[in-house]
């Protein structure tokens, strides 16, 4: 049974939460604290899976509390549930909070967010990995991309269009800006799946404060791992996103599904960036096993880390509140049969896109992704492969030329 701690200095609100969540008592054990210090006392005495905190509280406010929770209990999912707050306070919550929900919050939304956060924990079997990922507030970017966006934002004539284009071609920046927009950190009550559009909603001034003042984006420091080429990894991510979107377009699916396919393709290897940035030695061992023992990448990861980059990336993206179809596609892009749907989904697009990219860029290499034809047959989509290959040939040829 999952354990949830709610923190708010308003007794009436806590009483309301007790009443509203009474039907969840068979699934959750719940604690209710009237402030930050009391909440830390709860956590010191017994483990909790999720902390849901107000922002405005006397003494220790929500940002301070969640920062303490992040440091002391990194495995705990941290959610803000708050009314309007000053922008400065919101900025301070961006790092320690995984998601930000606005009051008044629909009861179903609150239940869904908490239930989803609890379910995500099953993705990672290793506590050490779960703790590592839960503490992350950014996915590092290429140093040159980071420099590019900082330079643009520092310009007196900074263009939100240019900023959006830079974000759209970067894995870490895309993931972070979508977290901010879709978690209501800045009061945007809408779902946004386009990173450039997300940047325009935030605006130049907000992005300047986020990037230049509190470093909401970050870049790789000198990562020296034999066999790791960050440029290649970024190129693969961007092109897989483009392939996935093209495949979705061939199927004439709704625009939202196409956007999800693109984003899932762009983000599908985010877990590799997380592992490389934080676990250089294990990542080196994984690359060595792939190179010298001819293992598939995911097989080498399971041997050394127990979990794969797919699961690591999906866990963080899920914590950040990205849409379920995106998280699902990232989690299972190597093993789509573990998540059988009822037709074409972003997972289908990303799995096929990833395989087609590798077929073109590294033909005949047994170490790369293999197309799961049985999965496509079960969906009744195996006969669509020729059309997908034909309509993505120009993108695939670009991959082989790199």
Question: Hey, where are the domains in the chain?
Answer: 2-123, 143-213, 230-400
Q: Looking at residues 351-371, what average pLDDT do you find? A: 76
For 257-277, write each residue's pLDDT tens digit: 999 999 999 999 999 999 999
Check if CATH label 3.60.20.10 holds for domain 2-123: no
Q: What is the model's pLDDT at position 229? A: 87
Q: What is the model's pLDDT at position 212? A: 92
The span from the CA of 227 to the CA of 272, in Å, is 13
Check residue 51 and report its DSSP letter. E
Domains 2-123 and 230-400 share a fold: no
pLDDT surpassing 80 at residue 356: yes
- Number of C-beta neighbours around residue 181 at 10 A: 24
pLDDT surpassing 60 at residue 399: no
Per-residue pLDDT band for 342 (boundaries 50, 70, 90) equals confident
HEC string for 126-185: CHHHHHHHHHCCCCCECHHHHHHHHHHHHCCCCCHHHHHHHHHCCHHHHHHHHHHHHCCC
Per-residue pLDDT band for 206 (boundaries 50, 70, 90) equals very high
pLDDT surpassing 80 at residue 349: yes
For 38-54, write each residue's pLDDT tens digit: 999 999 999 999 999 99
Mean pLDDT of the chain: 91
- 364: phi > 0 → left, psi -120 to 50 → alpha, else beta; which? left
Q: What is the model's pLDDT at position 184? A: 77
For 118-127, write each residue's pLDDT tens digit: 888 888 988 8
pLDDT surpassing 90 at residue 376: yes
Check if CATH label 1.10.3210.10 holds for domain 230-400: yes
Percent over 70 (pLDDT), the chain: 94
Per-residue pLDDT band for 11 (boundaries 50, 70, 90) equals very high
| Phi and psi angles of residue 222, each rounded to the nearest 5 degrees, phi first | -65, 95
């Amino acid at each position: 049974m999952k354990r949830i701690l709610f923190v708010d200095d308003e007794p009436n609100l806590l009483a309301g939460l007790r009443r509203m969540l009474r039907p969840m008592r068979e699934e959750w054990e719940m604690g209710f604290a009237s402030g930050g210090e009391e909440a830390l006392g709860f956590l010191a005495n017994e483990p909790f899976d999720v902390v849901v905190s107000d922002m405005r509280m006397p003494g220790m406010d929500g940002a301070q509390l969640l920062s303490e929770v992040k440091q002391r209990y990194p495995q705990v999912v941290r959610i803000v549930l708050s009314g309007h707050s000053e922008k400065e306070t919101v900025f301070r919550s961006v790092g320690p909070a995984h998601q930000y929900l606005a009051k008044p919050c629909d009861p179903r939304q609150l239940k869904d967010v908490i239930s989803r956060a609890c379910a995500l924990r099953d993705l990672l079997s290793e506590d050490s990995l779960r703790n590592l990922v839960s503490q992350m507030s950014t996915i590092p970017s290429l140093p040159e991309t980071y420099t590019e966006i900082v330079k643009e934002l520092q310009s007196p004539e900074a263009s939100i269009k240019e900023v959006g284009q830079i974000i759209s071609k970067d894995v870490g920046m895309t993931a972070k800006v979508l977290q901010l927009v879709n978690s209501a950190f800045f009061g945007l009550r809408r779902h946004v799946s386009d990173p450039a559009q997300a940047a325009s909603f935030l605006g130049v001034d907000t992005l300047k404060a986020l990037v230049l003042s509190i470093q909401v984006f970050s870049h790789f420091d000198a990562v020296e791992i034999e066999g790791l080429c960050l440029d290649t990894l970024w190129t693969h991510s961007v092109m897989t996103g483009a392939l996935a979107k093209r495949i979705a377009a061939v199927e004439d699916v709704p625009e939202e599904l196409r956007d999800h396919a693109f984003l899932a393709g762009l983000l599908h290897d985010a877990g590799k960036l997380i592992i490389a940035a934080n676990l250089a030695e294990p990542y080196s061992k994984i690359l060595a096993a792939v190179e010298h023992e001819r293992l598939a990448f995911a097989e080498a990861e399971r041997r050394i880390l127990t979990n794969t980059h797919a699961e690591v990336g999906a866990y963080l993206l899920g914590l950040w509140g990205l849409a379920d179809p995106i998280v699902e596609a990232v989690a299972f892009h190597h093993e789509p049969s573990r998540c059988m749907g009822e037709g074409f989904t972003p997972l289908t697009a990303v799995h096929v896109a990833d395989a087609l990219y590798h077929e073109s860029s590294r033909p005949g290499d047994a170490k790369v992704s293999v197309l799961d034809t049985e999965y496509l047959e079960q969906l009744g989509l195996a006969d669509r492969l020729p059309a997908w290959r034909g309509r993505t040939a120009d993108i695939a040829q670009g991959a082989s030329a790199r």
